[in-house]
A and B are shown apart, each in its own frame.
Chain A
Amino acid sequence: MTLTRTANSDDRMQRRQRYKNAHTRSSSIALALTLLCGLMSPVGALAQDEQPVDSAAIAPPPAPAVNVHAEDTPNDKGKSATITWELSPDDTSRGIIDGYVVLRSESPSGPFVDTVGKATIGKTESLDNGAIDGVEYFYRVDAYRFEIDADGNQTFVASPSVVWGPTTTKAQWFNKKLGVMLFIFLIVAFSILQFITQAKTGKSNLWMANILFIILLGFFYSWVMAIIAAITMVLFLKDFYSGSEIFLRKIAGIEAVEEAIGRATEMGKKIFFIPGIQDMNDVQTIAGMAILGRVAQVAAEYETWLEVPVSKSMVMVTAQETMKDAYSRAGRPDMFQEAQVHFVTEDQFGYAAALDGMFVREKPATIFFMGAFFAESLILAETGNEVGAIQIAGTAMPSQLPFFVAACDYTLLGEELFAASAYLSREPRQLGSLKGQDVGKALFLVAMVLGLIVVLLGEVVDLPSWLYLQQYFKVD
């Protein structure tokens, strides 16, 4: 191993040529010896042992990597350093260099025995994810090659770079790569506040805050993103920011909720509400609970029996609290019984078997499926369909939506499940939240369309920076 880089590129070319010539010579000798060994093995073996080593056959080590640099990995939770380098001049093809190893030491003089990263040829970066915050480290990058001699013995040949250091790691309070997300959050958050005000009072003056955020976005982060946000506001301003009434388009599945409860009342039959098979740590279950609140309130007003069989204990407790509150709001707290919400089993198909039995025996007029469902979705929806119940389903599980679409009367697709609660309650905070999310969606839509246009133009007129917009949305 050499510790310093001394040869210039002409020297290297000459060395490489000498190495190739020597290698060809030694290969010929090895072939001749092998043939001789085959004919007279004892004599051949002896002769091979006595063969002097050709010093010219030892290839020079690869030229080391240059301009090694190490620094604390930015925007992370610490304990990580990023080591970069420029390629070794010998990094042209496998064989001359097989790759790079990154070595670490707590002293500039070594020993460099901790291998903290490896990189293949052509790579110029590696991460040391095993650092201790606050400790000073020194890094060295060795360009290496494996050599196999005529006997099949493998030799590791490496040439070390100049040592870089010291470098320390630390955690960052802020992830600056998420800056664009922060601004989008702020724009959406202030939109929500504005719409809540509008829903409560019929007028709003908070839209000025959004203009301020757009200017700040351009000033501190990117004017490209600020232009996208401004276009969004201009395109959707008229519909989003005008009028005293909060407008929401009709969704058939949500419109049908009261009708479905009314049907159960007229038929004198019960309603089942199935909140899915996930626990309260799933946002779909949380959305299902919000819808249950409204369904329970209407059911209490209509004096119709609502039953909620659940598969998770936390969901049971939450559903009981939600229903108790809903019955109180309806002015019928006396009607609520905790047994209306009952635990069945944690097991997915045990739960499905139990619900099937209940559907068939009790023949409900209406069934709601609102939450996260898996393979039991079609089993439940098909049985409900079989007993003639009007069924309204809502889930954000893409794999289960087809079954609900096929077997239920109405299906709330993905986002509609989360919007249903605001639609049903018309409560200002929920309405404002829903409208604010639409501002976010409009922002993404404009960004996506602009991005696609830039990509297409870039391809047609061969612009090198056609993926320019993508970098703002790429989050690792």
Chain B
Amino acid sequence: MADASPIGIFIAGVLTLGIFSFLYKDNPVYKVCEAIFIGVSAAYWAVEYFYSALYKKFWLGVIPPEGSGADPDMWLWGGAILGVLMLCRMIPKINWLSRWPLAFIVGATAGLYMMTFFVSNAMNQIASTMQPLIQDTFLATLGSFTVAIGTVTGLIYFFFSKEHKGIFGGAAKVGIWFLMVTFGASFGYTVMSRMSLLIGRLDFLFSSWATNFGQMF
């Protein structure tokens, strides 16, 4: 906030307090701050997309600036055509055309990620599980066994074709225990990181904003 103007710091502090007021209950101040937040962010992202997608990516891609040495990228017209088809939603007679870009996005996404996820989440996960179990120290050995048992039982939990009964059910129960312990650790870790965000915000309020407030009034 070193380069922010005094008025900017003042507004940032007031808006922060306004959002914090939601902790008490919904109130007019929060509503105003919320509306400003939504309005400003929606406008910001609209401009950002216009600049980065339409101008920087498309316009400069199909008509490269003189002297850049780049060739026009005709593939970008494909994206542009799909974008225009999306706009057909606003014309009732041909609004069905907007389904084509949707189908393209969903189909391409599924196809592209199928291999990526299969390699990273299945093949490499299995290869990584087949590691030496007996290590140099007791703790390392315990860790290896924990990872192996956790992976196998966790996978058993996610079987949908078999009732969780008997040995299978016991293994699934161990699997969900592993998941819950992991969630607990992750919860604590994330809460701590959120606390640091809160401290950062309070630091802003009590140092930059309070000092600025004192100087302004």
Bound together, the chains give a CA A456 to CA B40 distance in angstroms of 59
Residues facing A in B129-187 (CB within 8 A) are: 129-134, 148, 151-152, 155-156, 158-164, 179-180, 182-184, 186-187
With contacts A249-B164, A474-B124 taken as known, whether A357 is within 8 angstroms of B133 at the C-beta atoms is no
Residues of the A chain whose Cβ atoms lie less than 8 Å from the Cβ of B186? 398-399, 401-402
CB contacts under 8 Å to B, within A415-462, are: 415-416, 419, 434-435, 438, 440-442, 444-445, 447-449, 451-452, 454-456, 459-460
- CB neighbours (8 Å) of A449 from chain B are 152
In the complex, chain B residues whose CB is within 8 Å of the CB of A236: 161-162
Tally of contact residues, A, Cβ under 8 A: 69
Most buried by A among B124, B132, B159: B159
> Is B110's CB under 8 angstroms from A286's CB?
yes
Q: A1 contacts the other chain (Cβ, under 8 Å)? A: no
With A283-B113, A459-B132 as contacts: A314 and B158 at CB distance below 8 Å: no
Q: Is B161 touching A414 in the complex (CB atoms < 8 A)? A: no
Which residue of the partner chain B has the closest CB to A460?
A: B134
> Which of B5-13, B31-39, B54-62, B205-213 contacts the other chain?
B31-39
Nearest-CB residue, chain B, relative to A281: B109
Query: Which residues of B sit under 8 angstroms from A85, Cβ to Cβ?
Result: none
Residue of A nearest to B160 (CB): A248
Chain B binder among A65-73, A124-132, A199-207, A342-350: A342-350
**Bound complex: CA A353 to CA B90 (Å):** 29
Q: Which range contains the number of B residues in contact with the other chain? A: 35 or more
With an 8 A cutoff between CB atoms, is B201 at the interface? no
> Contact string, B108-138, partner A, CB cutoff 8 A, digits 1/0?
1110010001110011101101111110000
Would you call A301 an interface residue if the criterion is a C-beta within 8 Å of the partner chain's C-beta atoms? Answer: no
Please judge, given known A-B contacts A181-B123, A247-B161, A459-B133, whether A345 and B184 are in contact too, CB under 8 Å.
no
Shortest Cβ distance from residue A415 to the other chain B in the assembled complex, whole angstroms: 5
Q: 9 tightest A-B contacts by CB? A: A347-B41, A350-B41, A346-B45, A402-B183, A402-B187, A451-B130, A473-B127, A345-B42, A438-B161
Interfacial residues, chain B to chain A (CB-CB below 8 A): 19, 22, 25-26, 30-31, 33-34, 37-38, 40-42, 44-45, 49, 86, 89, 98-99, 102, 105-106, 108-110, 113, 117-119, 122-124, 126-127, 129-134, 148, 151-152, 155-156, 158-164, 179-180, 182-184, 186-187, 190, 194
